[in-house]
Structure 1
Amino acid sequence: MYAVVEINGKQYRAENGKNLLVDRLDAAPGESVVFEKVVLLAGENTAFGTPYVKGASVKATVNEEVKGDKVVVFKYMPKKHYRRTHGHRQQYTVLTVNEIVGA
């Protein structure tokens, strides 16, 4: 059984016991979080939400916060002596899915 859950405006596929890498959440490591915006429940009986499945939720535990790979942005204008280099590392939260509660 798996569920498609919406977290911070993005959709992720959640399965029991699996890890999810999501955009940074304001939660400390070891803290339990519950996501109630479940878009799809798949298993023996599939349930689609309009927009969300009523009574469904995903319970997870926060493992750690990590940084993604560095993305380098380079801007320039030819013949104008304009060059700018800028880097960015996105922060992520690693979650472990404990339970998928169905309707």
Structure 2
Amino acid sequence: MFAVVETGSKQYIVKEGDILRVEKLNAEKGAEIEFDKVIMVDDKIGNPYVENAKVKATVIAQGKAKKIIVFKFKRRKGFKKKIGHRQHFTQVKIT
């Protein structure tokens, strides 16, 4: 059995036992969470979401992704700008 879940403006295909990295959620490690924006379950397709469908998950970890370097410059002008960014994420296990 699989489902398509929407969280953090992204869609994920999930099944029981999967481990996902989703956009940061306000939940502590070990907390149980529910995804109620279920777009599809097996052969049922929602319009836009499937009614009375929920996917349960357990929070495994909160963390930051690998650093991404953004480097901007303008040729011949001496303008250089270097910025780093680390995106926050929540790792969950589908139950």
TM-score tier, shorter chain, comes to: over 0.9
SS of 2:77's equivalent in the other structure is coil
Alpha-carbon distance between aligned partners in 2 of 1:37 and 1:48, rounded to the nearest angstrom = 12
1:61 paired with 2:77, answer no
TM-score (norm 2): 0.96
Greater per-residue strand proportion: 1
1:14-70: CA deviations, max 9, x gaps? 11011111011110001000111000112xxx0101000011110001011122111
SS of 2:65's equivalent in the other structure is strand
Residue from 33, 44, 48 that aligns with 1:47 = 44
Q: Structure 1: 5+ residue runs without aligned partners?
A: 99-103
Q: CA deviation at 1:9?
A: 1.5
Alpha-carbon distance between aligned partners in 2 of 1:3 and 1:80, rounded to the nearest angstrom = 52
Alpha-carbon distance between aligned partners in 2 of 1:9 and 1:84, rounded to the nearest angstrom = 30
Alpha-carbon distance between aligned partners in 2 of 1:9 and 1:90, rounded to the nearest angstrom = 15
Aligned twin of 1:20: 20
Aligned twin of 2:7: 7
TM-score (norm 1): 0.89
After TM superposition, where is structure 1 displaced by more than 2 Å over at least 4 residues in a row?
none
What amino acid is the match of 2:9?
G
Percentage of pairs with the same residue? 40
Q: Structure 2: 5+ residue runs without aligned partners?
A: none
Alpha-carbon distance between aligned partners in 1 of 2:12 and 2:21, rounded to the nearest angstrom = 9
What is the Cα-based RMSD across aligned positions, in Å?
A: 0.7
